[in-house]
Chain A
Amino acid sequence: NAGVMQNPRHLVRRRGQEARLRCSPMKGHSHVYWYRQLPEEGLKFMVYLQKENIIDESGMPKERFSAEFPKEGPSILRIQQVVRGDSAAYFCASSQTGATQPQHFGDGTRLSIL
């Protein structure tokens, strides 16, 4: 009965490198959400995906950030050419449907940029 699995738990990158964060939703869940928690701030919505589709990316920065949820495999949040301001905790959540079902969260990936 695995919950939402995120890896890696901690990721260190140097400025200009790429960061890839992975999220495997709970079994039976086909809706995935990514949130970012910056220091001293609450969680902010980034993107909502279903299999092979981006439903809502209104919270994604316009450049360098992308997300996918392929037919097979985990959802990936990709950050290109990372900068210091990308340092944050990134959380993935999943739900059975996109309606009133609660979202179940992973333990997050703590991204640190040197």
Chain B
Amino acid sequence: AQSVTQLDSHVSVSEGTPVLLRCNYSSSYSPSLFWYVQHPNKGLQLLLKYTSAATLVKGINGFEAEFKKSETSFHLTKPSAHMSDAAEYFCVVSDGDAGGTSYGKLTFGQGTILTVHP
């Protein structure tokens, strides 16, 4: 079984300051992990993905995330927030089997709403 916990439902930062969105996961085997962003009334856009290669993953728009197996965490960071980053962010896990095959079914965290103040 797989699950995802996003530790903050809301995060508020000032423009130009760092962003940290926290995510812990639970997975039976080797998971694939993703961060998606959702702007109001839009679909989800993939920011980045981890699939057992490098533990530090770089995504679009300056975001990156670090996979820490010992802490079962996959926190999302950005050095400097921009007003356009205001949106809802979802940490997502796709479970696999012992052989490393992912079945594709995604389990979503509850989401973190990021507010960016001028």
Q: Which residues of A approach B to under 8 Å, CB–CB?
A: 4, 6, 31, 33, 35, 41-45, 48, 56, 58, 91, 93, 95, 97-100, 102-108, 110
Alpha-carbon distance A108/B49, docked complex (angstroms): 22
| A/B interface sample: 22 pairs, CB < 8 A | A35-B106, A35-B108, A42-B90, A42-B109, A43-B90, A44-B108, A45-B105, A45-B107, A56-B105, A58-B105, A91-B43, A100-B49, A100-B51, A100-B102, A102-B34, A102-B46, A103-B104, A104-B46, A105-B43, A105-B45, A107-B41, A108-B43
Looking at chain B's contact residues, the main secondary structure is: strand
- Residues A99 and B43 in contact, CB atoms below 8 Å apart: no
Q: Give the interface centre of A97, A99, A110 by most chain B CB atoms within 10 Å.
A: A99
Known: A48-B105, A58-B105, A102-B49. 13 other contacts (CB 8 A): A33-B105, A41-B110, A42-B90, A48-B103, A93-B106, A99-B104, A100-B49, A102-B34, A102-B46, A103-B46, A104-B46, A105-B36, A105-B44
Interface size on B, residues (CB 8 A): 24
Q: Which residues of A contact B46 (CB under 8 A)?
A: 102-104
Q: How many A-B residue pairs have CB under 8 A?
A: 63
Residue among B34, B42, B49, B104 making CB contact with A33, cutoff 8 Å = B104
- Residues B109 and A95 in contact, CB atoms below 8 Å apart: no
- Residues A107 and B109 in contact, CB atoms below 8 Å apart: no
Within 8 A of A (CB), among B67-118: 90, 94, 101-111
Q: B32: CB under 8 A from chain A?
A: yes
Q: Which residues of A contact B103 (CB under 8 A)?
A: 48, 56, 98
